[in-house]
Structures are given as structure tokens and as C-alpha cells.
Amino acid sequence: MEKFNKFPMSSNYKITQNEYEINSIRLFVEEMGEGEPLLMIPGLGAGSWLWRKSISLSENFRLIMPHLRGSGRSDKPDHRYTIEQFSDDINCLMEKLSLDRFHVVGVSMGGFVAQSFACAHPEKVQSLSLVCTSAGGTNQVGPDGYTLSRMIRLRGKTRDERMMDAYKLNFTEGFLESHPDEIEAITQWRIRYPQPEFAYYRQLLAGTAFSGVDLQKINGTPTLILGGKEDEMVPAEDVQKLNELIHGSTKIMMNGKHMFFMENADEFNHELTEFFMRNAMMETENVYR
């Protein structure tokens, strides 16, 4: 176990980094903070940098941030990946950590993983937050053809050109122009921990093959759904459909594209914290009824 004085690309926060042997692979996990455990599941090809604007949540929660099979600093075996497999990796991880109930946040493809996990283990999910994601399968509109082609990393472009294509899909033009330091920090992390092209496509296929789950199994689980008003990869119609399929869920639309939660981090972190607090109050009231 290694302890560092700062989170990657951030300061004033302590982070613990560990590797766990899970389902025949090495899963890399970062933790910080104390309090109720909060599992944070990243999306396609992402790693630590995805949470760089939300680490203030560690002031009240124990953040558990795994790198999924095939990305970040976890192993990247060249075989078929599935959302269910990612979910099982997560379940094995939380069992190794001896955690049997916790909050779950899933972003983009990580939202698919979060849904799969919540349906398979509803008793373990204290609350569920689904960010810039859809219900998958026939219950989604999905990106249009042009947007999809930009996600497929067309050949004939340099690494920097591909990265910029991805940034333009994920962030608004205004954010890219006003926060070059943020983009450079993400770029340096991705260069330091590159995702092989085969692993990117393995993850992408896992997401596109996801046919959805029986969301009725989630009914009764406090669920917050957040979407970006300008998101081209997960259109507002998909966010609305997910909200309709999970009865009793709360939907919030925020300004920004796919990574609106980074562009508007203060608002996003506030909404998450408020949601967790409301859920805790409701649980306390139920205990004393």
C-alpha cells in the first residue's frame, strides 16, 4: 500500500492507492476521505482524472475510485469485456474491502455498470447516482451517426488530434478556451497511463452491446439522474427515458456537454451532497417510525 500527499493533479488531499487481484486481473483502486463509502465508477477509457473536480466530496465521504478492467492503471487483458463483467469486478472489490452497503455513482458507461450492479445487488446500494448515461438497449436514442464516428477514433489522425476530438465531444467550446490548464492536466495523465487501442474498442463494444437491465429491481433505491443539456453522446431524451423507467428517481439537467460534471463541478458536487443528505434524513426517519 502506498500513501501520497496529493491526489493526481490536485493538492491538499491525501490518497491511498492499492492493487487487488480480482477475477484473474489486477484492479487498481484509489481511495480518499472518511465517512460513508461512496463508490465512483468511471466511464469509457477514464481513470483518476475523471474525479479531479469532485474530490472535495472526500471531506464527508470515503471515496472509492476503481479503474475499470481495460483502462487506467488496471490490467488490460485482450478478451471480450461486458458490462456484467465490470459489475462483477466491482462487487468482488467491495467484498475485499468488507463493504456491504454504500453509495454508488456511475458516469457514462460507468452508469451502465452502476445499473447492472444495483440490479444484481440492490441490498448493497444505499443510493444510486447516474450521470450522463442512459438505460441502454432499445430504451435509448443514443448518439447520432456523426457523433458515433467521432467516438470510434478514426485512423489517420495523430494522438493529439484524437484527444482534441474527444475533448470537443466532452466539453463546451467555452470551457476548452478558458481552462487550457485543466485540459493539459488530463492530457498528461492520459499520456502517462495510455489505453491501448484494442482495450478502448473492447470497452466501447461492451457499452454498445449493453441491452439494459430490469430497472424495476431498482425501484425503491433512492436514485438521482443527472444529464448535460448540450450532451451529444447521451441526448436529453435518453436522460428523460431513464428517469421514467426508474420510478421515484429525481432528474436534474445541467449546462454543459458530456462532462458537465467537470465543467460545473461546484453545482454537481452540491447536488450530489444534497441528495446524499436527503437520503440519510429519510433513512433516519424510517428507523424511528
Q: What is the pLDDT of residues 108-166, one digit of tens each?
A: 999 999 999 999 999 999 999 999 999 999 999 988 888 888 777 666 678 888 888 89
Q: Which residues contact 208 (CB under 8 A, 6 or more apart)?
A: none
CA distances 93 to 30, 60, 86, Å, are 12, 22, 11
In the three-class reduction of DSSP (H, G, I as helix; E, B as strand; rest coil), residue 14 is classed as: coil
pLDDT confidence of residue 156? 65
pLDDT in tens, the chain (289 residues): 333 334 444 456 789 999 999 999 999 999 999 999 999 999 999 988 899 999 999 999 999 999 999 999 999 999 999 999 999 999 999 999 999 999 999 999 999 999 999 999 999 999 999 999 999 999 999 888 888 887 776 666 788 888 888 999 999 999 999 999 999 999 999 999 999 999 999 999 999 999 999 999 999 899 999 999 999 999 999 999 999 999 999 999 999 999 999 999 999 999 999 999 888 766 655 554 5
If one counts every other C-beta atom within 10 angstroms of the C-beta of residue 79, the result is 9
**Strand order through the sheet with 36-41:** 2-4, 15-22, 25-32, 61-66, 36-41, 102-107, 125-131, 223-228, 250-254
pLDDT of residue 13: 76
CB within 8 A of 161, min separation 6: which ones?
none
Enumerate the H helices of 106-196 as residue ranges: 109-120, 145-151, 159-170, 173-178, 180-192
Instruction: Specify the DSSP class assigned to residue 289.
Output: -
- What is the pTM assigned to this prediction? 0.92
- Residue 24 has a CB neighbour count (10 Å cut-off) of 7
Bridge partners, residue 85, by sequence: none
How big is the CA angle at 51 (ends 49 and 55), to the nearest 5 degrees?
A: 125
Cβ 50 vs Cβ 105: under 8 Å: no
In the chain, the domains with their CATH numbers are: 2-287 (3.40.50.1820)
Report residue 163: phi and psi, to 5°: -60, -45
The whole-angstrom separation of Cα 238 and Cα 252 is: 13
Quick check: 226 and 131 in contact, CB under 8 A? yes
Q: Which residue type does 250 have?
A: T
SS3 state at 187 = helix
Q: Count Cβ atoms within 10 A of the Cβ of residue 174 and give its class: 0-12 exposed, 13-18 middle, 19 or more buried.
A: exposed
